[in-house]
Amino acid sequence: MKKNHLVFFAAVLVAAVFISTGCNNEAPAKESPANEETANAAAPAAVTNPNFTIAPIEYSDLSEKALNHFAKFEYDAWADMLADDIVYAFPDGDVDSRTRLEGKAALLAWWKNWKEKSGVESMTVSEINHFPLNVTVQPKGGAQTGIYDFLYFSNKMVYSGKPVAVRMNFAVHFNDAKKIDRYITYYDRSTIVKAIGKDVLEK
């Protein structure tokens, strides 16, 4: 009997050692420093640009609200979102030669006159894309630093019954009071000139 007791005790002891070493709940061993370095090297680095940072989406909302007022010919509501010293640049030339409207009063007078004289009946803007940026390094060509919303969109216009669809690109700049003080516009004017029958920017 003693021999059987000893055999049984030995079997229990072996089982206990196996359970305690092979089936414990210890956390798995950490990766070696070499493995951690390899994993970190494979991870993509954060992308930054010293010339600008992402601006709050609030500025995209403001520029789109202003654009919608403009497209509906709601010029007085549009004017409420503009700075008094606003500059509007048309896409008819280079940096120094393009036509500009300077000051809110001159801007509103020009567009209200254009509405009466051009034969435009409606504008419908759609597919608007926004890229709000805070430009922190002086751009070339005399442009300002600060917050812009770069946007492009489709503008379907009707002139005296003639539909004209143009893809447009605007750079909209905001002052510290969140008023728009610059419109820099880029689009093909040729189809508009053809629909109207004249170039409204010719002197």
Task: Give the dihedral of Cα atoms 149, 51, 103, 57; nearest 10 deg.
Answer: 20
- Maximum alpha-carbon separation in the chain: 122
- pTM for this model (two decimals): 0.76
- Could you report the per-residue pLDDT of 150-170, keeping only the tens digit for each? 999 999 999 999 999 999 999
The pLDDT assigned to 14 comes to: 35
CB atoms within 10 A of CB 39: 10
- Could you report the per-residue pLDDT of 103-119, keeping only the tens digit for each? 999 999 999 999 999 99
CA distances from 27 to 16, 23, 31, 148 (A): 20, 12, 12, 51
